[in-house]
Amino acid sequence: MEGFCEQVVKVKKGTKHVVLCLLIILAFLLPIVWLMAMYYLTAAAGKADYFFALFALVLAMFGVFTFWAVFPRIMKVEYDYSVYGSDFIVAKVTAKSTRKRKLKVEIKHIESFAKISEEDIPNKKYVKRYDFTGGHSADEVYFAEFRLPQKGLCLLLFVPNEKILDGMRPYLSRELALKLLRKAK
């Protein structure tokens, strides 16, 4: 394969993920506690209604299945950057089982490319903003402006390593490649 390199960037978990997990747990836990309390109240009154206990059991089983099926998709997300020939491809990998291509750009279409801490993002109007940083700090993030034929001017934010940058360098315009080479030294 000519010019292939790959990088996996793990998405950092923040408070948003923790809050979402707690809300899912509470969404199942509170109704189960309420149904069991209703069962014990009817049993204490002498008219035991097994419907409450059965429904609580079914809801608990559904909650465990949801926890088992949904949490890996929420908590294990990665971005896969690939340079394959003159194409830059970003795929979202969920739970190390599902892969979905999010972006494919010909590197020669990149008009501007730099590290964010060295140069601010230009104040242009973008048709689409692609953020594949995964919650990494701003001093690691690069931006690239490019034009997609069907959409227009787009902005890409990502966290490449040296291998990806070296893979992209031959396909960038001469001035961008020289600028990137000077910044790397």
Kindly give the confidence (pLDDT) of every residue in the chain, 185 residues in length, as a single tens digit, with 9 standing for 90 and above: 467 888 888 888 778 777 877 888 888 888 888 888 888 888 888 877 777 778 888 888 888 887 777 777 777 888 999 998 889 999 998 888 888 999 999 888 888 888 876 556 667 788 888 888 887 777 788 888 888 878 788 888 898 888 888 888 888 888 877 776 665 55
Q: Which fold has domain 4-11+77-184?
A: PH-domain like (2.30.29)
pLDDT of residue 59: 82
pLDDT of residue 39: 80
DSSP 169: G
In the chain, which residue ranges form alpha helices assigned H by DSSP? 15-44, 50-75, 162-168, 174-184
Which residues in 117-129 are b (16+ Cβ under 10 Å) and which e?
A: eeeeeeeeeeeee
End-to-end CA distance of the chain: 28
pLDDT of residue 120: 65
Q: What pTM was computed for the model? A: 0.71
Distance between CA atoms of 32 and 55, rounded to whole angstroms?
Answer: 8
pLDDT of residue 102: 92
pLDDT of residue 117: 66
